[in-house]
Amino acid sequence: MDKVALITGGARRLGAAIATQLHAEGYRVAIHCQHSVTEAGALAARLNALRTDSAVTFPADLRDDAAPSPLVAAVAMHWGRLDALINNAAVYQPAALATASIEDWSQTMDVNLRAPFLLAQAAAPLLAAGEGGIVNVTDIYAERPKAGFVIYCSAKAGLVGLTRALARELAPAVRVNGVAPGAILWPEAASAEARQALLERTPLGRCGDPADIAQAVSYLLRARFVTGQIIAVDGGRSLND
């Protein structure tokens, strides 16, 4: 049977690119979504038109600590296996130390750090059965924090630490790695001046593409002797920041 990948936040943007890439490589893809149900359904329909019963949507609110285990169980029940877990879902919102609330903290940490931990915990036995892998989508801001995003940067730094800890914990049966995007898709609020300034700090001088992240994820799932690594896909920007 084809391998199965669960992609959280898989309905749009980076998640949709990852789902599409893995599907093209022969995976059956479980597309997790929360609010983007319509987009997830459209993506699944498009992929199923290419290959029958190769894509299914699984709505779940990852802010709920009771959601990850049933999500993994539902994927396993549908296809009988799980070979790859891609923790892509994230909350990206500004929060400065002086004004951040407990709700800001909880909302960001629950999705960006707690959910990947709980998903890995639930998925580990299934992944180990097939010597599968986990890829966490981190951020270059995990190691080079952005002012005004103290909670987001802390959560992503925690995800980097979780990636490395899980790589030790789950070896040798399961490999765990991360991809740290740079400028791939602009935030809607980013001004032209901010975009230009960022590109000037990027040696390749341009914005990346979601396919760049998807290809890095694909590589890490195939790289049988790589674990505990974070690959920066940022056009060289981390050389300067």
In the predicted model, what is the mean pLDDT of residues 109-135?
Answer: 98
Whether the pLDDT of residue 119 is over 90: the answer is: yes
Whether the pLDDT of residue 126 is over 80: the answer is: yes
- CATH T-level topology, domain 4-239: Rossmann fold (3.40.50)
Closest CA to 66 of 7, 122, 108: 122
Whether the pLDDT of residue 241 is over 70: the answer is: no
pLDDT at residue 159, as a whole number: 98
In the predicted model, what is the mean pLDDT of residues 154-169?
Answer: 98
Confidence of residue 67 (pLDDT cuts 50, 70, 90): very high
141 assigned to active site: no
pLDDT at residue 183, as a whole number: 86
| Triad 10, 12, 15: Cα angle to 5° | 40
The Cα–Cα gap between 211 and 195 comes to 20
Where residue 135 falls (left for φ over 0; alpha for ψ -120 to 50; beta otherwise) is beta
pLDDT at residue 188, as a whole number: 66
Among 71-80, 144-153, 199-208, name the one with the lowest average pLDDT: 199-208
Q: What is the mean pLDDT of the chain?
A: 94
**Which of the residues 27, 92, 141, 152 is marked catalytic?**
152
Whether the pLDDT of residue 7 is over 90: the answer is: yes
Q: Is the pLDDT higher at 186 or at 99?
A: 99
For the whole prediction, is pTM greater than 0.85? yes
pLDDT at residue 1, as a whole number: 73
pLDDT at residue 156, as a whole number: 97
Q: Count of H helices and E strands in the chain?
A: 8, 7
Place of tokens 């296996």: 81
Q: Give the start-to-end residue ranges of the domains of the chain.
A: 4-239
